[in-house]
Amino acid sequence: MKKIDKTKAELFEELEDTKKKVQDLNNCQAEFEKAREKYEKVLDSTPDSMLFIDTQTRIVLVNAQFEKVFGYSQDEIIGKKLNILVPDRYKNNHSKKVRNFFEQPRVRSMGSHIEIYAKKKNGEEFPADISLSPLQTDEELLVAAAVRDITARRKAEEEVELNYFIQKVTNSMLKISLEPLSLEEQFDRILGLILNVPNLSLQSRGAIFLKDPEAEVLHLKAQQGFTKAEPLPCTEIPFGHCLCGKAAKLSKFLYAEDMDSIHEIHDESMFPHGHYCVPIMSGQSLHGLLNVYLKKGHKRSSREEIFLTSVASALATIIERDQAEQEKKDLQQQLAHAEKLAALGRFTANIAHEIRNPLTSVGGFARRLDKAMPTDTKEKEYTKIIIAEVNRLEKILNNILSFSKETPPNYTKNNISDVIERMLLIHADLLKEKSIDVQKVLANIPEFSFDKDMLIEALDNILLNAVDSMARGGTLTVVTEKEEEQELSWVVIKIKDTGAGISEDQLEMIFEPFYTTKVAEGTGLGLSITRKIMESMNGSVEIDSAEGKGTVIKLSLPFSVDQAPG
């Protein structure tokens, strides 16, 4: 039996010491639990997702924010490999980077400008910013990773970037529009700006079309990025045809990721592509279309649509400015032409007055000599020639004076059919002599206000031109009718002949003063006077003719039974 050397007092002392150590241990355990609980609360309260990874790339701890962002619970994720959170396309490269990091542990803060994407439990990806911190414990090395979802930040950055590029491209476009370049040259440089904007998924191919002012057709004005091997499929697009024509017809932004059924133009040699078709609009008015080509399968991007819509709006401004400049030039030319005609009218009127008095004397004396000369003599023949030439000169002077005078219309109510019948009666003998058959299709139109004498003069000029064009006879057709246009009523007179017609190049000059298609005679003022008369009564004159097919001249007068127009 072992002898107990310790006294009872010593045993009590050891017992008290043991109790104290147990109490200290319990206190330490309590402090540890408090510290752990406090640490977990701090960890869970951080705005970033926190996770801890061991050297085997296993996840050993996550915080509450991690569960909210990634959708995994603690039980689901603890012990899983880190690559469960990495998109498939990045996994190989990511594994190499993780191994390198554990070989050379170091602190990496957020904002490293590395493009990183993380994957949630549901497979959704999001852009992330991640900081890394090595943590050496008694057992092993851990890495603490703080993951921040930067979707909102990335969107804000992209919006700022997009606004910057919109402003930059728009400013550059406006500068180009101020340069002394044709509209086609401006479009070509603008396409270069659009197709070279960074961070947009546009192919380096595009085209700008303008709307035909007279028809629903788009005409190509500029293109970039096309080659002989891969040419631009369309240079002229009717509205409603293919994707571009449909976008123009609807005045709507259209998109296609490939050559689907909406594309009506298909060619085996055509390169695969998609489209953004952007109408160039100003209010409700369509000016043209911006067509940007995409790689096949490209996904629609609201960011790109906003950019292209802004570009199209700037293009509309440039087109309208060009149109305004062109209208200004046209008005200046018209003003210069009007001033020229006014000066010419004053000059010719003065000359006509100066010539008329001696011409009257020559004509009077020639007629007296004609009466005194014996018949069948050369002198008698000479006087006949002098009288005929004097008559021709007097007619020319009358036309010149009629063209140069500024007499306002004398409006009275008249029957248009009666005026036409009177005009035809005056020239009945001439028409019969020239073997010209007259056909009339006169509508029953009530009396209305116009200057009867002016209209007869205008009709005389047209009829005499028609007679001259039918040297071997023909048919003269006179038609009257009423037309409604833009809530206005018009009385229309059409005079058709079966004469030689007028060539296209002559039609452009036919209303110019002193321009005539008659070789031996004519002042070239008849149609100019006619147009002046019709415009003075707020009407118009139009001509439709072709060589060998005759001529149709259309006179239009505003119809009003209550009061005189203008």
Torsion region of 58: left, alpha or beta (phi above 0 gives left; psi -120 to 50 gives alpha): beta
CB-based burial label for 179 (10 Å; 0-12, 13-18, 19+) = exposed
Length of the chain: 566
Is the domain spanning 156-325 CATH 3.40.50.800? The answer is no
Three-state DSSP class for 292? strand
**For tokens 């045809």, what's the residue?**
241
- List own/partner pairs for 417-422 with CB under 8 A and 24 or more apart: 417/442, 417/444, 417/445, 417/480, 419/452, 419/455, 419/456, 419/459, 420/459, 420/478, 420/480, 420/493, 422/456
Contact of 525 with 403, CB cutoff 8 Å: yes
Q: Which two tokens stand for residue 83?
A: 């690559």
Buried b (16+ CB within 10 A) or exposed e, 16-48: eeeeeeeeeeeeeeeeeeeeeeeeeeebeeeeb
Dihedral sign for Cα 516, 521, 522, 524, please. Answer: positive
Furthest C-alpha separation in the chain: 194
Asked if CATH classification 1.10.150.120 holds for the domain at 408-558, the reply, yes or no, is: no
Per-residue burial over 189-205, b if 16 or more Cβ lie within 10 Å, else e, is bbbbbbbebeebebbeb
CB neighbourhood size of 74 (10 A): 13
Kind of pairing between the strands at 436-441 and 474-485? parallel
The token duo for 521 is 């005679």
Q: Can you state the angle between helices 452-469 and 416-426, rounded to 10 degrees?
A: 50
pLDDT string in tens for the chain (566-residue length) = 455 567 777 777 777 777 777 776 777 766 656 655 665 665 666 778 888 888 888 998 888 888 888 999 988 989 999 889 998 888 888 888 888 888 888 888 877 667 788 999 998 988 888 888 888 877 788 888 888 888 888 888 777 777 777 788 778 888 888 888 888 888 888 888 888 877 666 667 888 999 998 888 999 998 888 878 777 878 888 898 888 888 888 889 888 876 555 555 555 556 667 778 899 988 888 999 998 887 776 778 787 888 888 888 888 888 888 888 888 888 887 777 667 666 666 666 666 666 766 777 777 777 888 787 888 788 878 887 887 777 767 666 666 656 556 667 888 899 999 988 888 888 888 888 888 899 998 989 899 988 888 888 888 888 888 888 888 888 999 999 988 876 788 899 999 988 888 777 776 666 565 545 554 455 556 677 788 888 888 888 888 888 878 888 898 898 875 544 44
CB-side neighbour CA atoms (13 Å) of 497: 26
Q: Which residues in the chain are classed under CATH 3.30.450.20? A: 46-149
From CA 223, how far away is CA 548, in angstroms rounded? 42
CB-based burial label for 238 (10 Å; 0-12, 13-18, 19+): middle
The CATH 3.30.450.40 domain(s) of the chain lie at 156-325
Output the CA torsion 257→260→261→267 (10° steps): 130
CATH level 3 topology of 46-149: Beta-Lactamase (3.30.450)
Contacts of residue 547, Cβ cutoff 8 Å, sequence gap at least 6: 500, 501, 502, 503
DSSP string of 99-113, one letter each residue: HHHHHS---B-S---
